Amino acid sequence: MKILLVNGSPREDGCTYTALAEMAECFRAEGAEATIYHIGADPVAPCRACRGCARAKKCVIQDKVNEFVELAREYDGYVIGSPVHYASASGSLVAFMDRAFFSDYVSGHNSFAHKPAAAVASARRAGTTATLDQINKYFTISQMPIISGRYWNMVHGFTPDDVRKDAEGLQNLRYVARNMVYHLRCKEAAAKAGILPPVQENPVYTHFIH
């Protein structure tokens, strides 16, 4: 089992990383491989809606998005973490995930379908639930099971040391990590029993005019 944790904060070792590191340690204790991927502090261009990815089989903008998508295909589950910026995910993470999910789907790879995922939000005070809802939408449009814990997946603090004192928040992230490993073990058992993913239909696109 391989889990990829995405740090959507411009700060490589900040509060979001501290939350993800807690989960990574729990994943490893459960026998899974865990890797934290930092999207970096450099600007991330938004999607151009050019659909060039359908022809190139990858995003036509050359930055870390293509690197991430290639890497992500090797993993079985995902955790996407973000700080709260104005009651939403970080702007760089939103642009990053827009292009990563869209280019992977339009290029025909559909790498994320049926793989479990979880969102994590880090905030000093508020805006966490809105951020979680925002990130979860990438999962629900991609046929990805969302893994939950016993509370919403958030930690609070202004510094990493503050986050380390958020005992309830960190405990819940450990719940999420163990639940994801459990889901993946069930998925492995299902595959051994011959239970396959559902048959896919050709997509139908409509709008509200006809």
Q: Which domains does the chain have, with CATH numbers?
A: 2-192 (3.40.50.360)
Q: What is the pLDDT of residues 34-69, one digit of tens each?
A: 999 999 999 999 999 999 999 999 999 999 999 999
> pLDDT tens digit string along 118-150?
999 999 999 999 999 999 999 999 999 999 999
Closest CA to 3 of 23, 171, 15, 189: 23
* H helix intervals, 57-208: 64-72, 91-106, 128-140, 160-164, 167-192
Angle between helices 167-192 and 15-29 (to 10 degrees): 40
- At 63-121, the pLDDT tens digits run 999 999 999 999 999 999 999 999 999 999 999 999 999 999 999 888 999 999 999 99
Q: Nearest CA to 76 among 8, 147, 19?
A: 147
